Amino acid sequence: MTPADRTTLVKRIASDIGFDRVGITRAEPLPRADYVGAWLDAGHAGQMHYLERPERTDPRRLLDNARSIIALAANYHQPLPPVDAGAEPVGRVAMYAWGEDYHDVLKQKLRHLIDRMREAVNTPFEARPCVDTAPVIERELAAAAGLGWIGKNTLVLHQDLGSYFFLAEVVTTLDLVPDVPAVDHCGSCRRCLDACPTDAFPKPYTMDASRCISYLTIEHREAIPMPLRPRMGDWVFGCDVCQEVCPYNRDAPETTEPRFTAIPERPRPSLRRLLDPDDDHTQAVRRRGAARRAKPNMLRRNAAVALGNQHHADAADVLRKTATAAEPLAAEHAAWALDQLTV
């Protein structure tokens, strides 16, 4: 079996398993390693010090004798749920966290892919499955493998699939035929840059994560900087603004993976109930989902900011109760939100 034959076989198996796109790149140092280093040196990673691990820029460190990387995309795009204007105040959760935890879903798919490859390929090989918890820079690998180009909002974009898709990889010792990197189709468009509420893009193709709402609601474990709080709107976990305005997402197909579809209460969780530490609503949002990444006290912090930004006067009681609670992180932000109700 030639490398071309193996490549065709691997791509067919990946498609059968349910991956929406698959591409191949060489297991070699990232061509944009200097850009990654400069980005880290500029402090754009915020508190995400794990991004500094050296193996992120050289995937060969992940597996001895690695030769190829299979890059995969799994679509999670789905319709936005309707919002009842007269209902109680709710927050917003990024679409990728609406369903089951994608880490679990993708890892299962990757294990299945590797098992099927071992059955079909007549060459012994080693393989390591990777999702974003592994020390890889997925966007760089996806772009090198032709899954799409890295857009001005630093997400991988595909002309047909848009950007609402998860990435995963298999690093392998198999010799496979690499794909050609995709061409950048952003052109003069800057809708994502102009729409960002917190001005997280100092220039096109560069994100200052320390200003990004996704970072602030998920990775930032401390108090949210005061100037950024009014700009965070009603987001309590992640942010989709730069994707919502992207023209390539206008006609993006819907996911066919049922485990990614929205679980009730996740897309628009109740802010009052998130603030109540005795309410099981927080666990419903986090249970077996990507929102587990944010600790319960962080979700209460985020909910307090969202309530303050919505200026719901009838939320004063729950904010006052939170502001006097023993938990300092949520209490401090609830006190700030109370002040916003009088502005």
And the tokens for 78?
A: 């789905």
Quickly list H helices, 127-250.
Answer: 138-144, 191-195, 213-214, 241-244
Residue with tokens 């390693």: 33
Q: Considering the candidates 58, 104, 132, 184, report the single residue annotated as catalytic.
A: 132
Q: Rounded CA gap, 133 and 15, in Å?
A: 23
CA distances in angstroms from 193 to 140, 154, 225, 326, listed in the order given: 20, 10, 21, 39
DSSP single-letter state for residue 270 = B
Q: Rounded CA gap, 203 and 199, in Å?
A: 10
333 three-state secondary structure: helix
Quickly list H helices, the chain.
Answer: 3-17, 33-41, 102-120, 138-144, 191-195, 213-214, 241-244, 271-275, 281-286, 296-310, 316-323, 328-341
Q: What residue type is 121 in one-letter code?
A: V
- The candidate with the shortest Cα–Cα distance to 215, out of 184, 237, 246, is 237
Residue 165's DSSP bridge partners are 75
State the first-to-last Cα distance of the chain, in angstroms, to the nearest integer.
Answer: 71
- Neighbour-count burial of 237, counting CB atoms closer than 10 A to its CB (0-12 exposed, 13-18 middle, 19+ buried): buried
Is position 132 annotated as part of the catalytic site?
yes
Q: Are 36 and 206 in contact (CB under 8 A)?
A: no
And the tokens for 292?
A: 């587990």
And the tokens for 251?
A: 């006609």
Active-site residue list = 132
